[in-house]
Chains A and B, each alone.
Chain A
Amino acid sequence: VASCFTRARPTAAECLQNPWIQGDRPPSKHTDSSLTMATGADVRDILELAGGDDSGLISKKDIINSDKKKAKKVTETLTFKRPEGMHREVYALLYSDKNRDASPLLPSDTTQGYRTVKAKLGCKKVRPWKWMPFSNPARKDGAIFHHWRRAAEEGKDYPFARFNKTVQVPAYSEQEYQMYLHDDGWTKAETDHLFDLCKRFDLRFIVIHDRYDHQQYRKRSVEDLKERYYSICGKLAKVRAGTGTETKIYIFDAGHERRRKEQLERLFNRTPEQVAEEEYLIQELRKIETRKKEREKKAQDLQKLITAADTTTEMRRAERKATKKKLPQKRETEKPAVPETAGIRFPDFKSAGVSLRSQRMKLPSSVGQKKIKAIEQILTEQGVDLNPMPTEEIVQMFNELRSDLVLVYELKQAYSNCEYEQQMLQHRYDALLKAGGAVTPHSESSGAPDSQSWPGADDIKTEAKEQIIDVVGAPLTPNSRKRRESASSSSSIKKVKKP
């Protein structure tokens, strides 16, 4: 793909003269990229033939000015040898034969770049090792151990001593304790014990709590220990810092920690039934919310429709009154924004030049098939011509008529939907009432409570409720059902396509 875009394509004659085609071809050492148009220069490069650069590039002057003396041959300039391991095309990006001067400003070290460095073993002499004693500065007793080390590193510090980090646990004196740190819940001995453990275990409170002497002292929880420790730290910091300096004290909220842990415990100990119940409740909540949204949306749509109907009738009445009385039409005041969903909005034809008036009569494409059919039906019923003569007045009235027809159709639909919904809800309400009513007479009749029947009645009740609740999805109006079917049919098409 890449190699030939910088050069001109050789003609067929030139190709035939190419020695590569004519002579026997030496085996190519490189795997060429698939399906490239290799120019002569490329081929020579592949085969690592010597050929100079001017013979590869056919410039215009060669062909046209062939009779003039050829320009002095470019002196053999330094060819940069491609480093080992670099691909041919990559190298061509850097150093192509023609534009040799486009080399990087800073010379880069190409010796190591594309080669994996191998370890050179056996080059130098072996460095001797010695069994040396060493002392670890982190130890307090200065014990001497022995280990193998390079002789050259004798005397150097033990490198692992620097990992000996400890947490700073504050220490208090007797007086400080008496003055500031006295607490009713804690004796001095217990506080000392706590601090001793803190130092030993680097403030790992869980381990401290585990190793705490519960027999000797009271049973303390992890929060108690933390609380005491941090309060002491805070007090000491304040006292020692003196006046005026702002010290940052870590406040430990023990109450919050306790509550948090209690909550975690409860969460941890939940039974699977509780988890399932919670899931179920969340799902139900979601369902309820979506239903609510749907209801609101429908109500809004209906509202829009009604206002549209009202305003158009208002407008018409106003217009007619105005034209009858021949008063100046107060179009500005009475022109509420007619929602686009009500009726048909005929696009205002602002054409430059000549146009046919019947264009204005054309129904816009946004009107659905059903509405068109409904319009046609009513028009034919009323005996109106479907395509009247497009005079100015007729066009305007015809459009208005059709818009009103669509509005009437939509209102009728909305009305039938509402009726249907109302009937459905009425049925459901009756059924619920019946189910609720079924239990009470049953319970009244069973004097000696039959243990079998009680759960049975409960089951029926809950089952009926569940059924009823489940049925209350989006109410399936005849239109929405069809819509749903059409929607599912598109997905069924997808399903068919799968295998």
Chain B
Amino acid sequence: MSGGVYGGDEVGALVFDMGSYSVRAGYAGEDCPKADFPTVIGVTLDREDGSTLMETDGEKGKQSATTYYIDTNQLRVPRESMEVIEKLTELMFEHYNIPAFFLCKSAVLSAFANGRSTGLVLDSGSTHTTAIPVHDGYVLQQGIVKSPLAGDFMSMQCRELFQELGVEIVPPYVIASKDSVREGAPAIWKKKEKLPQVTRSWHNYMCNTVIQDFQASVLQVSDSPYDEQVAAQMPTVHYELPNGYNCDFGAERLKIPDGLLDPSNAKGLSGNTMLGVGHVVTTSVGMCDIDIRPGLYGSVVVTGGNTLIQGFTDRLNRELSQKTPPSMRLKLIANNTTVERRFSAWIGGSILASLGTFQQMWISKQEYEEGGKQCVDRKCP
């Protein structure tokens, strides 16, 4: 038997995890993806760059290599509708001629990556936050709860904050040089000369990266629901934008992410129909059979890049323990390393594809030819 891994059998599979923020790709059996690139398509039109992504065609990133040396392939794609799935399958087998293929839901893989086959997977990415109950390795589709409050929502709020402060977001590619200014003063910088003309979308994309950097480094979730006095006493964090504008951010650090957890205070939301993250979790569990609820609460898996905000997991823990009956044993599983949390679905796929007992589950080319596109629905749970 090959491999020193218990129960492992390396077939040489590729694992792709396509999110709306980034695509993760690599070989099965490894512990982190080899390639992690943004999910954006660049189209060159006469030396001009850019448009943004459509999800179905998201494979071709700018740096992707489309030659596959090895035979098998496993994909993980947001399951929006059957047409997407079937189209993808068709694409894989007919266009790329791969020998075998398998699709798996990212929630199941995230749970596997944390060593569990049953649990509630809370995935907070860039476009949406979802709570997905997984039972025995199968997703309970009727318990899925989605909320659009996620990374992009926070980026939008940050952008509004900067607009209020009257600060212009200038991406780094524009800046030739900058001078240091004192805190709060308007930035002094010089624009690069001979800049090629860029499309609007590309410029927006670059501005977004600036905002996302701010978001990742400055924002924090407080332990308790947002309170003006408490927030005012929080230590401030100094942040400097690429154009030299620097400022200390105190209360805003806490205010913006609090919209995730308690949307009633957040600006720009139509009505109070949005659910905070705590509510999302409890609603999802509430829709499941009562017999499995303790199992779900006992392994709440927290994944997704948006959850890496400082203090997110502690606050979530607190919220959930308030909302559940006192006899319920609540356990949150949140990996501490950035890599593991962002890539947990990919890692789960890597684990799955290298198991010996998984080798019978691939959809081979022969099966596809016999069964057609519908075999995906049957074979992939």
Give residues in A with beta carbon < 8 Å to B. Answer: 129, 136, 138-139, 141-143, 145-150, 153, 158-161, 163-164, 200-201, 204, 206-207, 209-211, 222, 261, 264-265, 267-268, 270, 272, 275
Contact = CB atoms under 8 A, between A and B. Distances in A.
A200 B99 CA distance: 24
Given A145-B71, A206-B135, A160 B325 contact: no
15 contacts: A136-B359, A136-B360, A141-B366, A141-B370, A142-B366, A143-B364, A145-B100, A148-B3, A149-B1, A210-B138, A211-B141, A222-B289, A264-B291, A270-B325, A272-B326
Given A143-B99, A261-B291, A268-B290, A159 B2 contact: no
Contact of A159 (B1, B288, B291): B1
Given A143-B99, A149-B1, A206-B135, A160 B289 contact: no
Contacts of A209: 289
Contacts of B290: 261, 264-265, 268
B10 interface: yes
Nearest to B371: A141
B116 interface: no
Contact of A210 (B2, B12, B142, B378): B142
Q: What class of interface size applies to chain B in its complex with A?
A: 35 or more
Given A136-B360, A153-B1, A160-B359, A146 B366 contact: no
A163 to B, nearest CB: 5
Nearest to A211: B141
Contacts of B89: none
A160 B9 contact: yes
B142 A160 contact: no
Contacts of A201: 138
Interface in B205-253: none
B327 to A, nearest CB: 8
A139 B357 CA distance: 11
Contacts of B288: 206
B191 interface: no
Contact of B140 (A142, A145, A206, A270): A206
A146 B364 CA distance: 13
Contacts of B135: 204, 206-207
A139 B360 contact: yes
Nearest to A138: B360
Contacts of A265: 290
B136 interface: yes
Contacts of B370: 141
A18 B274 CA distance: 93
Interface of B: 1-3, 7, 9-12, 71-72, 99-100, 135-136, 138, 140-143, 288-293, 325-326, 356-357, 359-360, 362, 364-367, 370, 378
B356 A160 contact: yes
A146 B11 contact: yes
A261 B288 CA distance: 12
A145 B142 CA distance: 36
A268 B326 CA distance: 10
B366 A206 contact: no
B201 to A, nearest CB: 40
B165 to A, nearest CB: 43
B364 A141 contact: yes
B366 A143 contact: yes
A275 B325 contact: yes
Contacts of B362: 143, 145
Given A206-B288, A206-B292, 6 more contacts: A136-B359, A141-B366, A142-B366, A147-B11, A161-B360, A163-B357
B138 to A, nearest CB: 4
A129 B356 CA distance: 18
A147 B360 contact: no
A264 B294 CA distance: 11
B145 to A, nearest CB: 14
A184 to B, nearest CB: 26
Contacts of A138: 359-360
5 closest Cβ pairs, A-B complex = A160-B356, A143-B364, A138-B360, A207-B138, A210-B140
Contacts of A147: 2, 9-12
Nearest to A212: B142
Contacts of B7: 160
A141 B12 contact: no
A70 B6 CA distance: 70
Contacts of A211: 141
Most buried by A among B2, B72, B136: B2
Contacts of A204: 135-136, 138
A153 B99 CA distance: 24
B375 to A, nearest CB: 10
Nearest to A162: B357
Given A143-B100, A159-B356, A268-B293, A149 B2 contact: yes
Nearest to B360: A138
A384 B362 CA distance: 110
A350 to B, nearest CB: 65
Given A153-B1, A206-B135, A148 B10 contact: yes
A146 B360 contact: no
A423 B99 CA distance: 96
Contacts of B359: 136, 138-139, 145, 158, 160
A158 B1 CA distance: 8
A210 B9 CA distance: 32
A222 B373 CA distance: 30
B20 to A, nearest CB: 26
Nearest to B141: A210
A394 B71 CA distance: 117
A217 to B, nearest CB: 15
Contact of A207 (B72, B140, B325, B367): B140
Most buried by B among A129, A148, A210: A210
Contacts of A163: 356-357
Contacts of A146: 11-12, 71
A151 to B, nearest CB: 11
Most buried by A among B11, B140, B292, B359: B359
A254 to B, nearest CB: 14
B173 to A, nearest CB: 45
A278 B11 CA distance: 59
Contacts of A164: 357, 360
A2 B114 CA distance: 53
Nearest to A262: B290
Contacts of B364: 139, 141, 143
A143 B365 CA distance: 8
Contacts of A261: 289-291
A261 to B, nearest CB: 6
A146 B72 CA distance: 10
A267 B326 CA distance: 11
A264 B291 CA distance: 8
B303 to A, nearest CB: 21
Contacts of B12: 146-147
A65 to B, nearest CB: 71
Contacts of A270: 325
A139 to B, nearest CB: 5
A113 B110 CA distance: 45
A68 to B, nearest CB: 73
A276 to B, nearest CB: 10
Contacts of A200: 378
A158 B367 CA distance: 20
